[in-house]
Amino acid sequence: MPRLSLALVVLVAAPTATHAGPLTPPAGAPTPTNKTLSEVEPRIPLTQDTAPGTGFVVFNILQPGSYYLVEDLQAANLSGFGIVIGVSDVTIDLNGYTMRGGDTPSDGIFLNGPSISNVHLRNGTISGFNNGLNFGPSSSAGSITDLTIQDC
């Protein structure tokens, strides 16, 4: 019996004796080693400068890219759309904000065009539109993540 307990002690003690490497940092100032978020996924704020709307649309996206809301979107005074997407390869991050419609706005987000694909919507709330989302007749291949649609 004493031999067995001695063997267990040796096995438990052996891993703690390994060397983990030097604790002295390398000389010189630290330098970045990774890409910034804007290099990995350049994001475009949704504003009238980047996606100008009309009296019928708050934001009209006509270029592929990754967009994000910078504040709640109010479409209550329009008789149209919150965001119209007219191209493929668009990501919209609502950034935790809410898109609010009123009595007459028809769609919160509308895909307007033939064969629009690779549209990704995420992270926010769409409320008070006739239709929260309208993907049109022939859109495909996208995703909806962490999106709440209510009162539509």
6 pLDDT band, cuts 50/70/90, is very low
Per-residue CA distances from 143 to 5, 90, 93, 118 (Å): 58, 11, 12, 8
pLDDT digits (tens, 9 = 90+) for 75-111: 866 667 999 999 999 999 999 999 998 767 689 999 9
User: Using CA atoms, how far apart are residues 102 and 78, in angstroms rounded to an integer?
Assistant: 8
Q: Find out whether 131 and 114 touch, Cβ atoms under 8 Å.
A: no
User: Using CA atoms, how far apart are residues 85 and 123, in angstroms rounded to an integer?
Assistant: 17
Residue type, 16: T
Helix (H, G, I), strand (E, B) or coil at 65: strand
Answer yes or no: is pLDDT of 136 > 90: no
User: Using CA atoms, how far apart are residues 149 and 127, in angstroms rounded to an integer?
Assistant: 6
Q: What is the pTM of this model?
A: 0.72
**Mean of per-residue pLDDT scores for the chain:** 82
Answer yes or no: is pLDDT of 14 > 60: no
The confidence score (pLDDT) of residue 34 equals 78
The confidence score (pLDDT) of residue 51 equals 94
Going by their DSSP bridges, the two strands 107-111 and 98-100 should be labelled as unpaired
Which of 1-5, 61-65, 81-85 has the lowest average pLDDT?
Answer: 1-5
